[in-house]
C-alpha cells in the first residue's frame, strides 16, 4: 500500500532533531572538534605538551565546546546540554593541574557554574560545588586562598541566581513540550480514534509521520508499515468520497480553512468500506514543515443506523400508517414520473361517514384496512394502489394499461370486490364504492389527472353511488370553464370589474327596511356577468377570496357611510372560510373599513355560514370575540344546513341567525320545515338571538314568519339585490309588500341578476 522514500527522515516526537543536511554537516564538524579537544586534553593529561601555551588550552577547549554545542543544536538549549559533559572532562583536569593561573581558574569556574546552572540544580550542586570544595581543600592555606581574596564568591552567587532563573525558563519550557508530546502520543495511543500525522504530497497522497495503534484495530493495517511511507490515499478512499477529501486537504494546505470535517469511507484491509468522521487541522513545526493532523472517528454503526432511520422515515413519509399503502405524496410523485402514460381510478367508499359516525372511528379504521386488503390483490406491476386520504383510494394504471377500457374493467373488478359484506367484530357491513376514471391527455399534469378522476367519481356519487364514471367531455368543459374563470378572476379586482349590490332586509313588525346584505357582482370584460355561485367557490379554493373579502368589507363600509345618518340602516357583509383562516387579516380589514369610512361599527354585521362554525370551533370563538370587540355584529348565515345545534351555537359570541332559504321555501308546503323554523325561533328567543328568514318569496311567507315570531325577512318578494343608490332610495320609500304578492310580482331587479339560487 505504500513505498519507502529515502529523501525523508523520520520525524521523531522529540525536540532538537537533526532534520536536514545542514544539521548533519554540523554534527560531523562538532564531532571532529570534540575529538580534537579530547585529544588535546588527553595529551596534556599524559604529560605530552603539544605546544599550546597553558592558558590557551582552556580557551581552545571552551571555544571548541561552544562551537560543538552551537553547530549541533543552533540554540541555547542544546549548548547548555553539552556544557556539563564539557565540564565533566575539564574539572578533573583542573584538579590534576593545580598550576593554572588564577585568572583562568576564576574564569573557568564561572563558566563551569554557568554550565552546571543551565543543566539543573542537582548538577550544579554535585558537579559545581564539589570540585570547588576540592580545589579549596587542596590549597595549603585555604583561608589565604586567592579565591577568598577575590570577589569570586559574589560573582558566583550572582551567576547561580541568573543560572537558576535561566534554567527554569529554558528547561521548564523544554520539559513541558516534551511532556505534552508524550501525553499527546499516549492519548493518541489510548484513543479509539485513529490519529494520523502526515506530510502532504501531491494529489492527496501523504507521508505518514505518525499513526496511532487504533489504525490496525479499525482498518487492519499494521501501523509500523505505514510510518514514514508515502501513502497513496486514492486506493484507501471510496471513489465517491475522493474528490471531497482532496477538496478539504486543498483548503487546509492552502490556508483557506483552519480545520476541516468530513464523513468519508475508508477501505478496510479485508476490502470492505467503513465510515469515518475525519477532523483535520494544519500544523507547522519549528522548522516550518507543514503537517496535517487528522482524527478519524469510526462512525460506521452510527451511519448505518442513520441510513436505516432515513429509510424508515422515507418509508413512513411515502406510506399510509393505517393500511401500509403508498400515500398521496407518493401518488403525486409517481404520477409526475409517469407523465401522460397513466390512467387514474379515484375510488371513494359510499356513505363511509355514516359508518364512521355510527360504529365509531376504531371500527371505521378496521373497515378501511379491510377495504385496502380487498383492493390490494387487484394490483399488478403496471397497476398500483394508493390511499389518497380518508375513505379515498386511487389506482394508477401505467403504460399500455393506461386506457379507458382497461380502467373500466378494473373499475368493475373494484365494484365486485366490495359486494360481499365485511365482518368487523360483531358488525356485518356492506360497503360499496363510487369510482371515477380519468385517462391522462397531453398537457395535463398529475393534479389535473387526479382532479378529473375525482370529478368523475363525484358524478358517480350523484348518479346514485356504487358505480363508476369516466371523465367525459362535459366534465372536461366544466374543468376548462373553471380554469378560464379562475384565470379571469385573478385579474378582476385590478381591472375594477367587481362591485357590490345591496339586497334590502326588513323588520317584520313593524314592516320597514332595517338593513342591506352586500353581495359581490362580477362583470368580467371577457366572460360577461359571472354568478357568485360560480366564482365564490373558485375564489375560496384559490385563496383569492381574501382579497375579494377585503374589497367587499371596505367597499360596503365606504358606500354605506354615504347614507343619511338619521335614518341609517345596517349592512351585512359575507365572510368566508378563507378569511376566517387568517384572523389577523380579517380583523385589520374590518378595522380599516371602519376607520376609512367613519361608519358606526354597530351598523356593520358579518355573516358567517353555519358550516364554518363546526370546523374549528375554538379558533373561531377567539376570532369572533376579537371582531365583536371592534363593535361589529355577527350573524350565522344559512342556518339549518350545517348540522349544528342551537345549544352548540350558544357557545359562540353571535348576535343573530339567518334561517336558510330551503326551510323558508318548504315552509308552506312541508309541515316539518315549518316545525323546524318554529323550533329555531323559539330557541333563538331563549338565547336572545335576532332571527332573519332569507329567500322569502311571497307575502304569505312573511305573514307566517310574523305569526311564528321571526324578527326580520329578506327575499326577492321584498327586493332583489340592487345598486347602492337604488337600495338607499328603497329604504327611504319602503312600503310593505302587497297582499298576494310573490316573487314574480316583486320589484324588478335594478341590475341583471343572472343567478337565482
Ligand atoms: P348568501 O350569503 O346566502 O346570499 C344570499 C343569496 O341568496 C344571494 O345570492 C341572493 O341573491 C339570494 N337570494 C336573496 N333572496 C332570494 C330569494 O328570495 N330567492 C332566491 N332563490 N334567492 C335569493 P347571490 O348574490 O348569488 O350570492 C350567492 C352566495 O354567494 C351568497 O349566499 C354568499 O354565500 C356568496 N357571496 C356573495 N357575495 C359575497 C361576498 O361578498 N363575500 C362572500 N364571502 N361571499 C359572498
Ligand atoms: Mg349571506
Ligand atoms: Mg344565506
Per-residue pLDDT band at 399 (split at 50, 70, 90): confident
Query: What is the CATH classification number for the domain harbouring 460?
Result: 3.30.70.270
pLDDT at 7: 36
Residue 163 lies in a domain: yes
Q: How far is CA 585 from CA 257, 581, 589, in A?
A: 48, 9, 6
Burial class (CB in 10 A: 0-12, 13-18, 19+), 22: exposed
Residue 643 lies in a domain: yes
Q: Are residues 112 and 216 in the same domain?
A: no
Q: Are residues 464 and 585 in the same domain?
A: no
Residue 106 lies in a domain: yes
Per-residue pLDDT band at 636 (split at 50, 70, 90): very high
pLDDT surpassing 70 at residue 357: yes
Across residues 157-182, what is the average pLDDT? 60
Residue 404 lies in a domain: yes
- Cβ–Cβ under 8 Å, residues 359 and 427: yes
Across residues 87-97, what is the average pLDDT? 54
Query: What is the CATH classification number for the domain harbouring 263?
Result: 3.30.450.20
pLDDT in tens, 446-486: 888 998 999 899 889 878 889 999 998 888 888 889 889 99
Residue 7 lies in a domain: no
Q: Last residue of some domain: 471, 494, 522?
A: 471
Q: Which of 456, 554, 569 is nearest to 512 (CA)?
A: 569
Q: Last residue of some domain: 176, 211, 245?
A: 176
For the chain, percent of residues with pLDDT exceeding 70: 72
Q: Are residues 300 and 375 in the same domain?
A: no
Q: Are residues 206 and 165 in the same domain?
A: no
Across residues 439-443, what is the average pLDDT? 85
Per-residue pLDDT band at 224 (split at 50, 70, 90): confident
Q: Are residues 491 and 640 in the same domain?
A: yes
- Which of 70-79, 172-181, 495-504, 571-580 comes out lowest in average pLDDT? 70-79
- Cβ–Cβ under 8 Å, residues 55 and 104: yes
In 213-348, alpha helices (H): 214-219, 239-253, 300-318, 328-338
Across residues 729-752, what is the average pLDDT? 70
pLDDT at 453: 94
Q: Are residues 564 and 697 in the same domain?
A: yes
pLDDT at 175: 65
Specify the pTM. 0.54
Helix axes 102-119, 54-73, angle to 10 degrees: 20
pLDDT surpassing 50 at residue 103: no
Is residue 533 within 6 Å of ligand 1 at its C-beta?
A: yes
Q: Which of 415, 378, 416, 412 is nearest to 397 (CA)?
A: 378
pLDDT in tens, 641-654: 766 666 667 788 99
pLDDT at 743: 73
Is residue 660 within 6 Å of ligand 1 at its C-beta?
A: no
Q: Are residues 403 and 517 in the same domain?
A: no
Q: How far is CA 166 from CA 70, 80, 396, 562, in A?
A: 17, 10, 87, 99
pLDDT at 213: 86
| CA 656–ligand 1 middle distance (angstroms) | 17
pLDDT surpassing 80 at residue 623: yes
Question: Which ligand is closest in space to the CA of residue 572?
Answer: 2
pLDDT at 626: 94
Q: How far is CA 220 from CA 223, 272, 314, in A?
A: 9, 11, 35
pLDDT in tens, 539-570: 998 899 999 999 999 999 999 998 877 778 99
Q: Are residues 436 and 521 in the same domain?
A: no
Q: Which residues pair with 261 in a beta bridge?
A: 279
pLDDT surpassing 90 at residue 419: no
pLDDT at 310: 92
Q: Are residues 24 and 145 in the same domain?
A: yes
Residue 341 lies in a domain: yes
pLDDT at 755: 33
- Which of 142-151, 226-235, 466-475 comes out lowest in average pLDDT? 142-151
Across residues 360-370, what is the average pLDDT? 89
- Which of 13-22, 90-99, 532-541 comes out lowest in average pLDDT? 13-22
How many Å apart are CA 517 and CA 571, to the nearest integer?
6
- The domain of 256 spans 191-304
Residue 478 lies in a domain: no
Per-residue pLDDT band at 9 (split at 50, 70, 90): very low
Q: Are residues 499 and 380 in the same domain?
A: no
pLDDT surpassing 60 at residue 95: no
Is residue 504 within 6 Å of ligand 1 at its C-beta?
A: no
Query: What is the CATH classification number for the domain harbouring 643?
Result: 3.20.20.450
Q: Which of 472, 478, 411, 467 is nearest to 441 (CA)?
A: 472
Residue reference for cell 558537579: 127
pLDDT surpassing 90 at residue 516: yes
Q: Are residues 339 and 282 in the same domain?
A: no
| CA 608–ligand 3 middle distance (angstroms) | 9
pLDDT at 687: 87
pLDDT surpassing 90 at residue 532: yes
Q: Which of 346, 334, 355, 458 is nearest to 399 (CA)?
A: 334
pLDDT at 645: 62
Residue reference for cell 370546523: 615
Record the cell numbers describing residue 112, joined without a space.
563551569
Question: Which ligand is closest in space to the CA of residue 660?
Answer: 3
Q: Are residues 212 and 268 in the same domain?
A: yes
Residue 1 lies in a domain: no
Give me the chain's average pLDDT, please: 80
Residue 307's contacts (CB-CB under 8 Å, 6 or more residues apart) are none
pLDDT surpassing 70 at residue 279: yes
How many Å apart are CA 50 and CA 623, to the nearest integer?
115
- Cβ–Cβ under 8 Å, residues 705 and 720: no
Which 3 state secondary structure label does DSSP give 517? strand
Is residue 589 within 6 Å of ligand 1 at its C-beta?
A: no
| CA 519–ligand 1 middle distance (angstroms) | 6
Is residue 716 within 6 Å of ligand 1 at its C-beta?
A: yes
For the chain, what is the domain count? 4
Mutate to test the pocket of ligand 1, among 574, 576, 661 (most ligand atoms within 8 A of CB): 574
Is residue 726 within 6 Å of ligand 1 at its C-beta?
A: no
- Cβ–Cβ under 8 Å, residues 395 and 449: no
Amino acid at each position: 500500500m505504500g513505498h519507502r522514500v529515502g529523501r525523508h527522515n523520520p520525524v521523531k516526537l522529540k525536540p532538537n532533531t537533526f532534520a536536514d543536511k545542514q544539521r548533519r554537516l554540523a554534527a560531523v564538524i562538532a564531532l571532529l572538534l570534540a575529538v580534537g579537544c579530547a585529544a588535546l586534553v588527553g595529551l596534556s593529561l599524559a604529560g605530552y605538551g603539544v605546544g599550546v601555551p597553558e592558558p590557551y588550552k582552556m580557551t581552545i577547549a571552551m571555544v571548541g565546546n561552544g562551537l560543538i554545542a552551537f553547530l549541533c543544536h543552533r540554540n541555547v538549549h542544546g549548548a547548555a546540554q553539552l556544557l556539563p559533559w564539557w565540564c565533566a572532562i575539564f574539572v578533573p583536569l583542573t584538579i590534576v593541574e593545580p598550576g593554572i593561573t588564577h585568572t583562568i581558574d576564576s574564569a573557568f569556574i564561572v563558566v563551569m557554574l554557568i554550565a552546571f546552572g543551565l543543566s539543573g540544580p542537582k548538577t550544579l550542586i554535585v558537579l559545581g560545588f564539589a570540585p570547588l570544595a576540592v580545589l579549596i581543600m587542596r590549597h595549603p592555606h585555604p583561608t589565604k586562598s586567592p579565591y577568598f581574596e577575590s570577589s569570586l564568591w559574589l560573582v558566583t552567587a550572582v551567576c547561580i541566581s541568573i543560572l537558576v532563573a535561566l534554567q527554569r525558563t529554558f528547561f521548564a519550557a523544554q520539559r513541558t513540550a516534551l511532556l505534552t508530546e508524550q501525553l499527546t502520543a499516549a492519548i493518541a495511543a489510548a484513543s479509539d480514534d485513529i490519529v494520523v500525522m502526515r506530510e502532504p504530497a501531491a494529489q492527496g497522497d501523504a507521508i505518514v509521520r505518525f499513526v496511532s495503534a487504533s489504525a490496525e484495530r479499525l482498518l487492519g493495517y499494521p501501523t509500523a508499515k505505514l510510518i514514514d511511507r508515502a501513502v497513496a490515499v486514492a486506493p484507501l478512499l471510496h471513489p465517491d468520497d475522493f474528490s471531497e477529501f482532496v477538496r478539504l486537504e486543498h483548503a487546509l494546505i492552502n490556508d483557506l480553512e483552519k480545520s476541516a470535517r468530513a464523513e468519508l469511507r475508508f477501505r478496510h484491509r479485508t476490502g470492505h468500506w467503513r465510515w469515518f468522521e475525519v477532523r483535520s487541522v494544519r500544523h507547522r513545526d519549528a522548522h516550518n514543515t507543514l503537517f496535517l493532523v487528522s482524527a478519524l472517528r469510526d462512525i460506521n454503526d452510527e451511519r448505518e443506523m442513520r441510513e436505516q432511520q432515513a429509510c424508515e422515515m422515507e418509508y413512513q413519509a411515502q406510506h399510509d400508517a393505517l393500511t401500509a399503502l403508498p400515500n398521496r405524496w407518493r401518488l403525486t410523485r409517481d404520477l409526475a414520473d409517469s407523465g401522460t402514460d397513466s390512467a387514474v381510478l379515484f375510488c371513494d367508499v359510499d356513505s363511509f361517514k355514516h359508518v364512521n359516525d355510527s360504529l365509531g372511528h376504531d371500527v371505521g379504521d378496521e373497515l378501511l384496512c379491510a377495504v385496502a386488503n380487498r383492493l390490494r390483490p387487484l394490483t399488478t406491476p403496471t397497476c398500483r394502489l394508493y390511499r389518497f386520504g380518508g375513505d379515498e383510494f386511487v389506482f394508477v394504471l401505467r403504460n399500455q394499461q393506461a386506457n379507458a377500457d382497461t380502467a373500466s374493467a378494473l373499475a368493475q373488478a373494484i365494484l365486485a370486490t366490495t359486494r360481499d359484506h365485511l365482518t368487523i367484530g360483531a358488525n356485518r357491513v356492506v360497503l360499496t364504492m363510487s369510482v371515477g376514471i380519468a385517462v391522462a391527455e397531453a398537457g395535463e399534469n398529475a393534479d389535473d389527472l387526479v382532479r378529473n378522476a375525482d370529478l368523475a367519481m363525484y358524478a358517480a356519487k350523484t348518479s346514485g353511488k356504487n358505480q363508476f364514471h369516466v371523465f367525459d367531455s362535459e366534465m372536461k368543459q366544466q374543468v376548462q370553464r373553471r380554469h378560464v374563470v379562475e384565470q379571469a378572476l385573478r385579474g378582476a379586482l385590478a381591472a375594477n370589474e367587481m362591485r357590490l349590490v345591496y339586497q334590502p332586509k326588513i323588520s317584520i313588525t313593524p314592516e320597514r327596511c332595517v338593513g342591506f346584505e352586500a353581495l359581490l357582482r362580477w362583470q368580467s370584460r371577457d366572460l360577461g356577468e359571472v354568478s357568485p355561485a360560480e366564482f365564490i367557490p373558485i375564489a375560496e379554493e384559490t385563496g383569492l377570496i381574501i382579497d375579494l373579502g377585503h374589497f367587499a368589507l371596505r367597499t360596503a363600509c365606504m358606500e354605506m357611510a354615504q347614507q343619511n345618518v338619521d335614518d341609517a340602516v345596517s349592512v351585512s357583509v359575507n365572510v368566508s372560510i378563507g378569511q376566517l383562516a387568517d384572523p389577523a387579516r380579517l380583523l385589520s380589514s374590518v378595522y380599516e373599513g371602519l376607520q376609512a369610512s367613519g361608519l358606526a361599527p354597530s351598523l356593520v354585521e358579518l355573516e358567517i355560514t353555519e358550516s364554518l362554525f363546526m370546523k374549528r370551533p375554538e379558533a373561531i370563538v377567539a376570532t369572533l370575540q376579537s371582531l365583536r370587540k371592534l363593535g361589529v355584529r355577527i350573524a350565522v348565515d344559512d342556518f339549518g344546513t350545517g348540522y349544528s345545534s342551537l345549544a352548540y351555537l350558544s357557545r359562540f359570541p353571535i348576535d343573530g341567525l339567518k334561517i336558510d332559504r330551503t326551510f323558508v321555501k318548504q315552509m308552506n308546503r312541508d309541515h316539518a320545515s315549518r316545525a323546524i323554523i318554529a323550533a329555531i325561533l323559539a330557541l333563538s328567543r331563549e338565547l336572545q338571538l335576532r332571527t332573519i328568514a332569507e329567500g322569502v318569496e311571497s307575502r304569505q311567507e312573511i305573514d307566517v314568519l310574523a305569526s311564528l315570531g321571526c324578527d326580520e325577512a329578506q327575499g326577492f318578494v321584498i327586493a332583489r339585490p340592487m345598486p347602492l343608490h337604488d337600495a338607499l332610495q328603497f329604504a327611504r320609500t319602503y312600503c310593505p309588500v302587497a297582499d298576494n304578492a310573490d316573487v314574480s310580482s316583486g320589484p324588478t331587479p335594478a341590475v341583471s341578476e343572472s343567478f337565482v339560487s
